[in-house]
Amino acid sequence: MASSIPIPIAIIGMACRLPGGATNPDKLWEMLSEGRSGWSEVPPDRWNRDAFYNRDPEAKESMISKSGYFLQEDISAFDARFFGIAPLEASAMDPQQRLLLETTYEALEDAGIPLERLRGSDTSVVVAAFGRDYERMGFQDPQESNKSQMTGTGDAIMANRISYFLDIHGSSLTLDTGCVSRLIPLLNVS
């Protein structure tokens, strides 16, 4: 029988990368309080929105929209050296993994928790993730696939990247779920 005693939880640090220029919680609050949306037309550097557009929802190899919610910053501007990742491996990393590392570091910074405090601890990491677009693109041509493709795009590695970077020894779990936002790392700091 499940206990009816609530388990206290405290959110002590936050970070985010969201559409509409919401690159941190303060910018997200500013965007929401001003009534702005993160919606925009497909940026020209992503794909040719006109070439893939088709009003017919049954049309193959097309999209029924020319808009969506897109991050504005350059996701290739990732400091792989800071996170101890070799250049070849970084080039194969799904941008979700890059953003996950960056926002986890920023959330710890926001919480005022120095990395040294976590090193060697039994801190746990739980990541909820959904979406494998980058992985699918990488396997289109197996002859050209980077040898770090599996670790760079595998869902299972997401929580492990945080555990490895922070040198923490608690459980490390990635949940594949469509019921939450794209990436949500939770650290259980003991």
pLDDT in tens, 1-40: 566 787 787 889 999 999 999 999 999 999 999 999 999 9
Residue range(s) occupied by CATH 3.40.47.10 in the chain: 75-190
Binned at pLDDT 50, 70 and 90, residue 120 comes out as very high
What three-state secondary structure class fits 106?
A: helix
Domain 75-190 falls under CATH 3.40.50.300? no
Q: What does the mean pLDDT of the chain come to?
A: 84
pLDDT of residue 164: 92
DSSP character at residue 11: -
- Which CA distances in Å does 120 have to 144, 162, 170, 183? 38, 13, 9, 24
Q: Exposed/middle/buried for 101, CB within 10 Å: 0-12, 13-18, 19+? A: buried
Single pTM value for the model: 0.81
Percent of the chain residues topping a pLDDT of 90 = 48
Task: Let me know if 13 is exposed, middle or buried by CB neighbors in 10 A (0-12, 13-18, 19+).
Answer: middle
- Whose tokens are 């928790």? That residue is 113
* Whole-number pLDDT of residue 136: 60
